[in-house]
Amino acid sequence: MKELADIHNDKDNSGVTAQPVDPSSFTHLKGTFPGPPDTPYAGGQYQVDIVIPDTYPFKSPIIKFDTKIWHPNVSSVTVSCPPALRPPPSALRPQSSWRTWSLGLC
């Protein structure tokens, strides 16, 4: 999958990682990303569980934090994407990637 290769190639710059839970499938991933600088989350490393729907990229991934975190847009079940990060389905494009979504979470 091109997106996983892009994430791997940019991990030293972005700090974002993602790998399949089962190497034979790209529909269930574990990912990590650093807390953004100049926020209460700075210095943290956050792990997430990512389920990629069959309709991706036209439907966003389902993301659940494995790392305990308090954030108004994060429940104990899934990330509740605020409207600014949740474009209408017609606006989702193939260039929307896990890296793009993860960098916009915090």
CATH code, residues 2-103:
3.10.110.10
Whether the model pTM is above 0.75: no
Q: Say if residues 91 and 83 touch (Cβ distance below 8 Å).
A: no
What is the model's pLDDT at position 45?
A: 93
**Gyration radius of the chain's alpha carbons:** 13
What is the model's pLDDT at position 18?
A: 92
Q: pLDDT tens-digit profile of 78-99?
A: 554 544 444 455 444 555 555 5
Q: Say if residues 37 and 25 touch (Cβ distance below 8 Å).
A: no
